[in-house]
Structure 1
Amino acid sequence: MLAMYLAVLDDRSSEEQFIDVYNTYKRLVYHTAYKILGDSYLAEDVLQEVFLYVAKNFSKIHRENCHKLAAYLVSCSRSRAYDMLRKQREEPLEEVPDAPDDAPVPDDATVSTDNIQHLTELIGQMKPMYRDP
């Protein structure tokens, strides 16, 4: 993944500086995102997005003050993590396809009686320790 970031850099002289920034702050960015998302895979996605952004804008980012850089990276990872949470909440649930218009409509009494009989048979086949509750 580091090779992809280095390919994005405009200036080849800044590769070593970027590698130092990446190695120094990757855990901070990951843990910040993980605290918000609670999912390691999503936290890794945030890590990749943040450092891809940093690589694209590396010449503009001030690296003299390590505390300001750390605060900036934490802010970036938080905003990306919250964006990811927001996107997850907005995703529609998978819709169950509607039955065709010409499909027969089952009688409620028949369906419930058949279901009860089928469930009773299945429960009877279970081991006693699972059947009792």
Structure 2
Amino acid sequence: MVALYLSLIDKQEEKNRFEELYYRYRNLMYYIAYQVLHQDRDSEDAVQEAFFRIAKNMDKVKDIASTETKNFVAIITKREAMKIYDKKKKRDEDFDVDLTNIKKHNSENLVNEVKNAIEQLPYKFSSLLTLKYVLGYSGKEIAEITGLTETNVRQQLMCGRKKLSEILEEDL
């Protein structure tokens, strides 16, 4: 199966990194997908779709062992699993998101408050906010990664920021 994904990548260096990423994170990705879908076949489909997205965006992955890459892989996998879930159930449900590996800043109290507020958001908003503001991807890159349109990414980021602001205002 790895050969299929590798055929999507042009540069040999990126192929080598993808292969390392594949073997390092495939079990984690399956675990994440299974937590959402609770079915083997659907979970495998979600992981397969996630690997296709990652292969197409391999130029954005630098250090395979980094927390940033692990979060990137987890977000892509969970979004793909959520797409399958939504298609099957035709409804939008919130799922907990694990953001324990977010980069540490000087003011840990503020970071913890923001992290807790992000965890309260629906996954479709929390994942996009994480890609944008924690991992630093542009709207165009997020659209490529998630399969959404740039307009949809901007709208969901705007809604996510608004909801995040409301949650933070309640807590203060």
TM-score w.r.t. structure 1 length? 0.63
Q: 1:38 to 1:64 in 2, by over 3 A?
A: closer
Instruction: Verify: 1:48 aligned to 2:48, yes or no.
Output: yes
Whether the 8 Å CA contact 2:21–2:64 is kept in 1: the answer is: no
Whether the 8 Å CA contact 1:6–1:15 is kept in 2: the answer is: yes
- Which residue in the other structure is 2:7 paired with? 7
Displacement, 1:65? 5.7
Instruction: Verify: 1:84 aligned to 2:88, yes or no.
Output: no
Letter in 1 for 2:87: K
Displacement, 1:21? 0.7
**Identity percentage of aligned residues:** 27
Distance 1:80 1:64 in 2: 20
Letter in 2 for 1:79: R
Q: Point out which structure has higher relative CO (alpha carbons under 8 A, 6+ apart).
A: 1
The unaligned stretches of length 5 or more in structure 1 are: 91-133
The unaligned stretches of length 5 or more in structure 2 are: 91-172
Structure 1: 4+ residue segments shifted above 6 A: none
Displacement, 1:66? 1.4
Distance 1:64 1:83 in 2: 25
Distance 2:17 2:62 in 1: 12
Distance 1:71 1:47 in 2: 15
Q: 1:62 to 1:23 in 2, by over 3 A?
A: same
Whether the 8 Å CA contact 2:20–2:64 is kept in 1: the answer is: no
Please give the secondary structure, in 2, of the residue aligned with 1:21.
helix
Instruction: Verify: 1:39 aligned to 2:22, yes or no.
Output: no
Structure with the greater alpha carbon radius of gyration: 1
Letter in 2 for 1:11: K
Whether the 8 Å CA contact 2:47–2:80 is kept in 1: the answer is: no
Distance 2:14 2:80 in 1: 25
